[in-house]
Structures are given as C-alpha cells and as structure tokens.
Copies of this chain bind each other. A is one copy, B any other.
C-alpha cells in the first residue's frame, strides 16, 4: 500500500490526539490520557518544543472505514547519556489496526532512527510493556536489546504529591 511519512504539523494534532487515545486503549490505560490536541500544539510546536513527531498518511482512496487518511504516528525527543552522548527516544509508535502489516510502523521507526543519526545520536531507545509481546517481538526482531532483561534497568517515577513534596524541599539558593 502506498503511504508517506512526513514531519508532523500543528494541524495534525487532532488526529494525533485521536491516535494517542486509540493507543492508550490498546495499552489498557485510556483513563490515564489527560492531554488533548491543545497541549500537543503548545508543547510540540512552540519555540522550544518538548517533542517532535512523524505522521504516516495514505491517499484518499485508501482512507480508513471512518474516513481517516492519517493512520499512524511516531513521537520522539532527544535525551542524553553521560556515557555515550546523544540519544533519540521514541515515546510512541502507532499504526491503526486496519493498516498494520504493511510496513508503516517499520517506516516510521526507521525514519526516527535516520533523523536521530542526522543529529549524531548513537542510540534509539524506547520502553515497552512486558505483556505487549507483538511489539516486543517486533523491536527485538529489528535488533533492539531489552536492557531491563539483560542489565536490570528499572523505570521509576515521581508524580502527584510525591513530586510536589520533593519540589517544596528544594534548596532556595
């Protein structure tokens, strides 16, 4: 199937917001989605954006049952390793169910890798839920290493009251 992969624009945010919700349902956590296309526009398309994104699009004649032509996205940003330097982190990779198995996810991920390499990144990182074996198998087949399994890296988070408490105790100097 014909498709294109291009950089996201502010006018893509409504479709991204729709697909973010679809992905969260797949990840069994739709109640955790708190942001809308407005926050995406503000955070992704201002002077110092918090993320970058790619959109996969199909021609009109291949539009989805509901009429969508924007059928996948990848959202990424740059992080840093004090051991090896610049890293590109792919936060989300999503393709609508009826468009899977056509190389669209692979094309989005490859483009993130290529953009990262242009920025002199030496790593592409991401995180996956352990029960999500289709995704895990997809990444491992493409050459990813599972660092949680091999080295024991765990993900930690402060949010809500724990984050407020920490911030309040910061030195003022």
Residues of A at the B interface (CB closer than 8 Å) are 4-6, 16, 20, 23-24, 29, 32-35, 39-40, 43-44, 48, 50-51, 75, 77-86, 89, 91-92, 106-107, 109-111, 113-114, 116-117, 122-131, 136, 139-140, 142-149, 151-159, 161-171, 173
Is there an interface contact between A148 and B154, defined as CB atoms closer than 8 Å?
yes
Taking the full assembly, how many copies of this chain does it contain?
2
Are A142 and B127 in contact, CB atoms less than 8 angstroms apart?
no
A166-B154 CB under 8 A given contacts A50-B80, A78-B50, A84-B32: no
Q: Do residues B89 and A82 form an inter-chain contact, with CB atoms below 8 A? A: no
Main SS at interface, chain A: mixed
CB < 8 Å neighbour of A155 from B81, B109, B146, B159: B146
A43-B85, A86-B50, A89-B79 are contacts. A166–B142 as well, Cβ < 8 Å?
A: yes
Q: Is A82 touching B78 in the complex (CB atoms < 8 A)?
A: no
CB atoms of B124 and A152 under 8 A apart: no
- Residues of chain B within 8 A of A83, CB atoms compared: 20, 24, 29, 32-35
13 A-B pairs whose Cβ atoms sit less than 8 Å apart in the complex:
A40-B82, A48-B48, A50-B78, A77-B80, A107-B171, A110-B169, A126-B156, A130-B154, A143-B158, A143-B161, A143-B165, A144-B157, A147-B156
